[in-house]
Amino acid sequence: MPELIKDSGSFQEVIKGNQLSVVHFSADWVEQCKQVDDVMDTLSKQPEYANVKFAKCLAEELDEISLKYNIEAAPTIILFRSGKDIDKVDGADPAKLTAKVKQNNTKVDNLNDKSGDNLEQRLKSLINKHKVMLFMKGNPETPRCGFSRQIIEILKSAGVAYDSFDILTDEEVRQGLKSYSDWPTYPQLYVNGELLGGLDIIKEMQAAGELESALEG
Ligand SMILES: N[C@@H](CCC(=O)N[C@@H](CS)C(=O)NCC(=O)O)C(=O)O
C-alpha cells in the first residue's frame, strides 16, 4: 500500500536514495485518482518492485511541492531517483504508468549491477559510442531542456550523423561525466571521444564557420 506523504520532510525521505520512487500527486475528489491508487497498489505488491517506493500526496495540501514539480492537474505521477524527478505520467494511464515504472526500475537494476564496474570505463565507452556523441536531456525527438533542443537544431542544420545519450535516465552518468570532463552542464558534445563543448561553444563555432570541420574531427 503506497505511503501517504503528509509534509515536505516525508516527501524528501521518499524521494532520496538510489532506488526508484513513484509519487502520485492526487486529489480525493478526482475519480481518476482512484484508478491510479489501484494501479500503484497492485505494482507495490509485485516482488520485482520490492525495492521501489510508492507514495501518494494530496497535491492541494502540499502546494509548495506541487508548484515545484509543476503539477497542473491530478492525477500526475512523478518518478524520482536520488532526489531528482526523472519521468512523469500525466493523467490516469495504467498502461503507461506500469511501463514507466518497469522501464525506470530496469535502469536502476542496471545501475546497481554496474556499481562494481569502473565508472570511468563506462563513461569512456559511452563517449566513444559514436564519432559525434551528444549527452543531452531527453532525446533528439523529445529534448527535455531548451539548451539540448538548440544543440539538436544546430546538429540538424549541420547535417551530421550523431548518437545521443539521455543523461536524465542515468544519474551516475549525469554526475560522473561532469567531473570526468570537468564540465558542469548539459548538453555536452564529443567528437572522437574529446569534449568539443556545451551549447555556447558550439554556437560560437557555428558563427565562426568552424563547426563543420570540428565535427569532421
Ligand atoms: N551555457 C550552457 C547552458 C547549459 C546549462 O546551463 N545546462 C544546465 C541546465 S539544462 C545543466 O545541465 N545543469 C546541470 C544538470 O542539470 O545536471 C551551455 O553552453 O551549454
What CA–CA distance (Å, rounded) separates 128 from 139? 18
Residues with a CB atom less than 6 Å from ligand 1: 137, 145, 147, 174, 185-187, 198-200
Q: What is the pLDDT of residues 81-125, one digit of tens each?
A: 989 999 999 999 999 999 999 999 876 555 545 554 588 889 999
Distance (Å) of CA 47 to CA 44, 68, 93, 110: 8, 32, 22, 17
What pLDDT was estimated at residue 115?
52
Quote the cell numbers at residue 16: 532520496
Whether the Cβ atoms of residue 105 and residue 134 lie closer than 8 Å to each other: no
Pick from 82, 145, 147 the residue to mutate for probing ligand 1's pocket: most ligand atoms within 8 Å of its CB.
147
Pick from 86, 186, 196 the residue to mutate for probing ligand 1's pocket: most ligand atoms within 8 Å of its CB.
186
In this structure, which residue's CA is closest to atom 16 in ligand 1? 185
Which residues, 6+ apart, have CB-to-CB distance to 62 below 8 Å?
5, 7, 8, 11
Quote the cell numbers at residue 63: 502546494
**Residue type for 46, please?**
Q
From ligand 1's centre to the CA of 147, what distance in Å? 7
Secondary structure class of 79 (helix, strand, coil): strand
Residue 67 neighbours by CB distance under 10 Å: 10
Whether the Cβ atoms of residue 146 and residue 185 lie closer than 8 Å to each other: no
pTM attached to this predicted model: 0.54
From ligand 1's centre to the CA of 186, what distance in Å? 4
From ligand 1's centre to the CA of 55, what distance in Å? 30
ipTM computed for the complex: 0.98
More confident residue, 183 or 117: 183
Which residues, 6+ apart, have CB-to-CB distance to 20 below 8 Å?
51, 52, 53, 79, 80, 81, 101, 104, 105, 108
In this structure, which residue's CA is closest to atom 13 in ligand 1? 185
